[in-house]
Amino acid sequence: MPTPRLNLSPLCQLPAGSTGRVCELTGDDSFCQRVREMGFGEASLVTKISGSSTSLCLVNGTRIALNHRAAMSILVEQLPASAR
């Protein structure tokens, strides 16, 4: 039985105040390695604090700002408020 495809969206499209689970990183290997080292590894929880052209996020207790291009390359599944 095939696994259902999650409803993924780029991190930059996550509404401010929402939490998502990182499901997929796109981009070249060096970009993926760099954002994993910053805490945006697959299955990490990230809360978007604010922004659209620059996304301010909270990941592993640290605030990190990402430019729009980087935030487009991090695909997340938005979590319901009750799952946080």
Query: 18-79 sits in which CATH class?
Result: mainly beta
Q: What CA–CA distance (Å, rounded) separates 69 from 54?
A: 9
Q: What CA–CA distance (Å, rounded) separates 69 from 84?
A: 26
Cα angle 3, 34, 76 (rounded to 5 degrees) comes to 35
Domain ranges of the chain: 18-79
Confidence tier at 83 by pLDDT (50, 70, 90): low
How do residues 2-53 score in pLDDT, each as one tens digit? 555 579 999 999 999 999 999 999 999 999 999 999 999 999 999 999 998 8
How do residues 71-82 score in pLDDT, each as one tens digit? 999 999 999 987
- Candidates 26, 10, 6, 27; CA nearest to 18 is 10
Query: What are the respective helix, strand and coil percentages of the chain, to the nearest 5?
Result: 25, 40, 35
Per the DSSP assignment, residues forming a β-bridge with 66 are: 55
